[in-house]
Structure 1
Amino acid sequence: MTFTYLGKRCRETHPQPSTKSGWKLLEQKLQTILFEISMGIFDYSKHFPNSKKGKMLLKSRADFYTIAEGLKDWFKRNESRYEKSTIQGYKSAIFYHLIPQFGLLAISDLTAIQVKEWLAGLKRLSNKRKNNILIPLRQLYEELYLDSFIEKNPLERIRNLPVSPREPEPFTRTEIEKILSQLEGQERNFFQFAFWSGLRTSELIALAWQDIDFENNRFYVRQAKVNGVLKGAKTKSGYRTITLQPEAKQALLNQFTYTGSLNEIVFHDSRKNQPWKGDQILRKTIWTPALKRSEVKYREPYQTRHTFASMLLSRGEEPMWVADQMGHKDWGMIRKTYGRWIPTHESQGGTALNG
């Protein structure tokens, strides 16, 4: 059978015997197809479910191309652009959230109110997580809109949900001592260094001995480990040189007896004598139990970074220097996040936490 559909010439076969009655049935089917096309109700997949031509044509129509197909195609097109950690996040969003919820809908059927109502029902997820889940869907619809596949983009009417920054709640000197007293060996070295270096957990578990410069009392941040994969810093300011504070230096000297001879990653999981694979297991097995035993109010490990910044600023360190130590491109973030720890009359000297 030969017919024209969506401006394309189509040729399809149909299993009919080569008899007079068979040719008559084939002619009747062709007339049915032509009638459905003229009425705008032709369903290619219904008549020819295994047709490659049909599948290609359906993908050119927003009312037949499903969101599930669109998301899978979008992921294939863009997978090579992203790092492994980002890919894992998008996979989770697409296959765990978006396709189960919207996958069967045609691209043209999605409305802004459907997405908003769905987001409102995700009670257990943070606004930041909800925003991240929408990224693949937003990018798919943006591509389809720019390619004139759809006439309007419903995602343009959905704003990202407000995200409150993590409020600094630094630990006091007394709390630090209590926490460290509940740790020993490599675990104590790890968190003592964390409190006095300002590194993110992903940077701590990726720190290598080759990046420690004891002679010049400094170390370099060049990489991070995310989802078990080592990668470079996200921004130019992320690559930085940090002054070794006395407590951080002592933690490294103590740690050298455990892993220094291996000439690789500084901090290891003592139970396996291997570098930490990620921050989740460290938080669950070491950090949380230590805070519980010390009876210190729970805060996430990231607060060790806030502690470092607040201690530097409270001692009168230059905010721009602190920003450099923290990996910020300027001191605007320091002023916004840690403003209450900046003395009215800032000290202009010193680069170490003494006492």
Structure 2
Amino acid sequence: MGKVRERKETGKLYLDFMFEGLRCREQTALPDTPANRKKCEALLQKVEAKILLGEFDYAEFFPGSKNLKKLAKAGALSCTGRAYNVMADADQEIDQSPLFPDFADLWLEENKIQWRASHLRNVESILESSLKPAFKNKRLTEITKANILAARNKLASRKGRAGNIQMAPKTINSHMAILRMILTEGAERYDFANPYRNIKPLKLRKVNIEPFSLDEVERITKYVRTDYQNYYLVRFYTGMRTGEIDGLKWEHVDFEKREILVRETLINGKTEYTKTDGSQREIPMFGPVYDALKAQHAATGKLSKFVFCNRLGEPLDHNNVTKRVWYPLLHALNLKKRRPYQTRHTAATLLLASGENPEWVARVLGHSSTEMLFKVYSRFIPNVTRMDGSAFERLIGSRSEDLEESENA
């Protein structure tokens, strides 16, 4: 008895049956959907009924089949003189799905209302630079698993950021995640088998952190330009992300409660909602942080709504600060060149090394759980139970006292 099967490489249906002792497979252009299976099963029933009655004319049903030559050699063909393509008739009944670029634009329009402006820009960039060019001439139902893997391999050959030879697996996965969402939505609307199924994300490389030691932190905050001392001191001792500290406004600095309220992030010169809901948090002003913010308020409190700003009262341009202040400073101090984000890793490792409770540290850093801490900072986590910041206060406080004593000696 024949079967209707799916070709794994394409997701399309084909008929598999026996005729005159020979196994025959006839491919269709139909995606594997319940409706298309019914059509193919009905066609297969007609074929097998004709075979049973001895009236089956292979060329009548499949005039363009590659099997005709094989059957002719075996002497298994008969002709009725009237050929019609049943398969073509079935194909014509299928509604044409839209081209991928057109559906991608529709998907974007329908979903952008729920995204932050920065995420929208990122999705638009991925669509225009990667996905739409890769599938520009293909309809949704024509995209195969092989096409998807080929597109992913092409992404892997592109240059990454910061002069990297190849695009990072994390970046590739973010591109492919957009493709997966589009195809999943398309498969649901147009009733075809999603070709993205069973494709796993690329394995991510282990995060290599390079935090500064407390000695290095003190050297940096001591020798940096005076107008940036408060900025880097707050970065090192709070673990705030670049966008969070650059977008920090005075209205979110509570001197009375000694808390920094993280409510916004600065992206492309504009403030918007934080990266995630978990990023919304309150950070205690540890001793040096409180003093630094008080000093900063005296300097910029009346100049701008932003805590850290340029002479015009505008928020800092992190690329400009990195190139003109951060990297030259590391070079002058003979310290290894590291991205400013390492200030966040430094805060995390100092908090953990001082004995603070990992769950409390996770909240201070804006993580929804301790999973990231144990994954990235496991070697810095001692067995402790405190969670109030007192251990960290003592650590940095004792260092300040030691420095004062050495200077007075």
**TM-score above 0.5, yes or no:** yes
Distance across 1 between alignment mates of 2:381 and 2:231 = 27
Specify the alignment match of 1:100 in structure 2: 133
Which of the residues 176, 183, 203 maps onto 1:141? Answer: 183
Match of 2:260, SS? Answer: strand
Matched, 1:76 2:119: no
Aligned to 2:315: 275
Cα pair 2:252 2:261 within 8 Å, conserved: yes
Q: Give the match for residue 315 of structure 1.
A: 354
CA offsets, 1:168-192, max 9 Å, x none? Answer: 3210123223333442133232112
Kept in 1, the 8 Å contact 2:250–2:305? The answer is yes
Q: Is the 8 A contact 1:178 1:296 kept in 2?
A: no
Measure how far apart 1:87 and its partner are: 0.8
Q: Which one of 173, 188, 210 corresponds to residue 131 of structure 1?
A: 173
CA shift, 1:90, in A, is: 0.8
- Give the alignment's TM-score, normalised by structure 2: 0.66
Preserved contact between residue 309 and residue 322 of structure 1 (Cα < 8 Å) = yes
Residues 108 and 150, structure 1, Cα contact 8 Å, conserved in 2: no
Structure 1 CA distance for aligned equivalents of residues 126 and 330 of structure 2: 33
Larger Rg: 2
Does the alignment pair 1:161 with 2:202? Answer: yes
Whether the 8 Å contact between 2:357 and 2:384 is mirrored in structure 1 is no
Q: Deviations over 1:10-69 (max 9, x none)?
A: xxxxxxxxxxxxxxxxxxxxxxxxx99x956999xxxxxxxxxxxxx99x513xx32122
Is 1:61 the counterpart of 2:96? The answer is yes
Contact 1:323 1:330 in 2 (8 A): yes
Query: Are 2:238 and 1:213 equivalent residues in the alignment?
Result: no
Helix, strand or coil for the counterpart of 1:167?
coil
Instruction: Say whether the 8 Å CA contact 2:180–2:196 is kept in structure 1.
Output: yes
- Asked if 1:257 corresponds to 2:294, the answer is no
Displacement after TM superposition at 1:348 (Å): 6.8
Counterparts of 1:247 and 1:136 in 2: how far apart (Å)?
43
In 2, Cα distance between the equivalents of 1:185 and 1:298?
21
Which AA in structure 2 matches 1:342? I
Shift in alpha-carbon separation, 1:165–1:285, aligned structure 2, 3 A = farther
2:378 corresponds to 1:339: yes
Letter in 1 for 2:278: S
Write the letter of the residue equivalent to 2:141. S
The alpha carbon displacement at 1:233 in A equals 2.9
Taking a change above 3 Å as real, the CA distance of residues 314 and 42 of structure 1, as seen in their structure-2 partners, is closer
The superposition leaves residues 84-116 of structure 1 with CA deviations (integer Å, 9 ceiling, x where unpaired) of 111101111111111222212222222222222
| Equivalence for 1:10 | none
Q: CA deviation at 1:301?
A: 1.6
Aligned equivalents of 1:234 and 1:345: distance in 2?
Answer: 29
- Unmatched 5+ stretches in structure 1: 1-34, 44-56
If asked which structure has higher relative contact order (CA below 8 Å, sep 6+), I would say: 1
Indicate how the Cα distance of structure 1 residues 284 and 110 shifts in structure 2: closer, same or farther if over 3 A, else same: farther
Question: Letter of the aligned partner of 1:158 in structure 2?
Answer: I
- Runs in 1 of length 4+ with deviation above 4 angstroms? 38-43, 345-349
CA distance in 2, matches of 1:150, 1:182: 64
Kindly indicate whether the alpha-carbon contact (under 8 Å) linking 1:240 and 1:325 is maintained by their aligned counterparts in 2.
yes
- 1:175 and 2:216 matched: yes
Distance (whole Å) between structure 2 residues aligned to residue 239 and residue 348 of structure 1: 19
Query: Does the aligned pair in 2 maintain the 1:186–1:258 contact within 8 Å?
Result: no
Q: Which residue of 1 aligns with 2:397?
A: 354
Whether the 8 Å CA contact 1:260–1:266 is kept in 2: the answer is: yes
**Residue 151 (structure 2) pairs with residue 86 (structure 1):** no
Q: CA deviation at 1:205?
A: 0.8
Tell me how far 1:263 sits from its aligned partner: 5.5
Decide whether the 8 Å contact of 2:304 with 2:313 is kept in 1: no
Amino acid at match of 1:253: K
Residue 188 in structure 1 maps to residue 229 in structure 2: yes
CA distance in 2, matches of 1:326, 1:337: 13
Root-mean-square deviation (CA, aligned residues, Å) is 3.0
Q: Kindly, what percent of the aligned residue pairs are identical?
A: 27
What does 1:192-203 correspond to in 2, within 5 Å? Answer: 192-203=233-244
Change (3 A) 1:167 1:39: closer
Query: Match for 2:153 among 101, 120, 138?
Result: 120
Matched to 1:287, the amino acid is W
State whether residues 186 and 267 of structure 1, in contact with CA within 8 Å, keep that contact through their aligned partners in structure 2.
no
- Structure 2: 5+ residue runs without aligned partners? 1-83, 158-165, 399-409
- Written as runs of structure 1 = structure 2, the 5 A alignment for 1:26-37 is none
What does the per-residue CA deviation read over 1:227-283, in whole Å, with 9 as the maximum and x for residues that have no partner? 33322234443222221122222322332233111361101135x541125x43433
